[in-house]
Each structure stands twice: as structure tokens, then as C-alpha cells.
Amino acid sequence: MDLGIKGRRALVCASSRGLGRACAHSLAQAGVDVVINGRDESALAATADALKVHGVQVTPVLADVSTAEGQAALMAACPSVDILVNNNGGPPHRDFRELDRDAMLAGVTMNMVTPIEMIQHYLDGMVQQEFGRIVNITSMSVRMPILGLDLSSGARAGLTAFLAGIARSVADKNVTINHLAPGAFDTDRLNGGFQFASDKTGESVESIAAARAQTIPAKRFGDPAEFGDACAFLCGARSGYITGQTLLIDGGVYNSSF
């Protein structure tokens, strides 16, 4: 399917690995020039090399998007964009009783304040050109709780609510703001959660992963490429009538009719 965005330019935050990388890959496949970002120089370089095979311009930026310095570096490399994919690491699994104020503020900064700051910078340019696609990677935990990820869940739910009215305010300018809420995808973060559980229980990572997969109606973990393709679709020229929505991609875990 031709998404109608060949030649557009995208900034994909936290895209050197995991779901961010998958989004950058799918956009590059669609002919989009991509600015990618990460904190691990070797992982960032490897991702850049992998994306260049699609014949698009790839600009890697080594930076932490949660910092003012990191954002400045990204904005210098990419003064304007057609597509913005907001992504960032989240706070690690932790009992909420262990969270002090600094930890809570850091989590909210990572998963709520940072994407809002990025949107503040790029939204008006999208409005002026009458084309823009913003996709925020959140989590299935905005719909259902995941014990131990309470800080991440609260910050991402806050982001979703914060942007709900803003999305509608620019819909007539062909600018959309949507959210992708992943369930269990085969990524380093998922495997880190299994290791966390293993350390606490003494059970092997393999047995924990196998048991978790059986709780998913699809009986498997998601392929990051599936997630990336969903992101690219929401960024497409023909997706302008979809805005202010959260697309839950979880293999059927969230048990609801609506």
C-alpha cells in the first residue's frame, strides 16, 4: 500500500532500538527521510546503516531527548518535520512505595513533559504547511494497570489526556495526533521485565516468558515490525481522518468490547 508520504521527513525519537527503531524502519520503507535518535552510539550507528538500504536520507543524532541539550541537538538537525514520532524509555519496574519525589518527577518528565515539549516546537510548522502527523508511543497500561509500572502508566495516561483537546484543535489543518499503545512486544524492555521477575522469584527467564505468552490471546509476543507498520499507517497521507485516538496493539489482552 502506498502511504503517500514518500519524500516526507520524519523525526523518530529514541529510535536506535526497539519499537522506535521499528517505526523508523517502516517509515524509511515508505520512502520517508528519517532523523533518528538514541543515547548508545554503536546502536544508533547500526540502525542508521540498516535504514540507509531503503535509499532515504538518514540523520542520526546522539542525544537524550529528555534533556534540553538533547532536544536542542535534535531541533538543530531537524528544524522542521512532516512527521514526529515521540518515544522515550520509561521508568524501570519498581514498587510505588520506593518512588521519591525526584523519581516521580523524572518519570513524568520522560513520558509526559518531553513529548509535549517536542510537539510545542513542531506543531505550528505542521499547521502552516497543512500537513502533519504526530504519533506518541505510550503503553497498554494507559488502559489497564501493570503493577510496578505505575509511574510510567500515570505519565503516559497524562500525556494522552493532555493532547486530547489539542488534537481536535488542529484537525482541520490536516494535522493529526494519535497514540500507539503497545502490549508485549519482543524488545529489550520486555526482556528486562522478565529478568526483573526472575530476580525476584528465582524462576528462569525462559519459563516466565513462556507463561506470559500463554496469557495473550494471540499466544505470542508482538513482532516490532508489526508495530512499526501501524505507526507508518497513522503517518500516511490517507490517515488524516484519524486523530485523538489510541490504537491498542496487544494481541487481544485488553478484554473489552469497545
| Largest pairwise CA distance in the chain | 56
**By CB neighbour count within 10 A (0-12 exposed, 13-18 middle, 19+ buried), where does 63 fall?**
buried
Q: What is the mean pLDDT of the chain?
A: 95
**pTM beyond 0.85:** yes
pLDDT value of position 189: 78
| Dist. CA 134–CA 17, nearest whole Å | 20
Using one digit for the tens of pLDDT, what is the confidence trace for 76-105?
999 999 999 999 988 888 889 999 999 999
What grid cell was written down for 142?
A: 494507559
What homologous superfamily is domain 9-184+223-249 in, according to CATH?
NAD(P)-binding Rossmann-like Domain (3.40.50.720)
* pLDDT band for position 1 (cuts 50, 70, 90): confident
* 8 A C-beta contact, residue 160 and residue 207: no
* Residue 73, pLDDT above cutoff 90: yes
CA distances (Å), origin 187, targets 6, 166, 223 = 28, 31, 9
3-state secondary structure of 11: strand
Q: Mean pLDDT over residues 45-72, rounded?
A: 97
Using one digit for the tens of pLDDT, what is the confidence trace for 217-237?
999 999 999 999 999 999 999
* pLDDT band for position 209 (cuts 50, 70, 90): very high
The alpha carbon torsion through 212, 224, 13, 55 (nearest 10 deg) reads 170
| Dist. CA 163–CA 177, nearest whole Å | 8
The string of DSSP codes covering 15-39 is -SSHHHHHHHHHHHHTT-EEEEEES
| Dist. CA 139–CA 29, nearest whole Å | 24
* 8 A C-beta contact, residue 92 and residue 29: no
Domain boundaries, the chain: 9-184+223-249, 186-221
CA distances (Å), origin 178, targets 50, 163, 233, 248 = 27, 9, 11, 11
* 8 A C-beta contact, residue 51 and residue 24: yes
Q: Which residue has the higher pLDDT, 245 or 205?
A: 245
| Dist. CA 235–CA 126, nearest whole Å | 13
% helix / strand / coil in the chain, to the nearest 5? 50, 15, 35
* Residue 200, pLDDT above cutoff 90: no
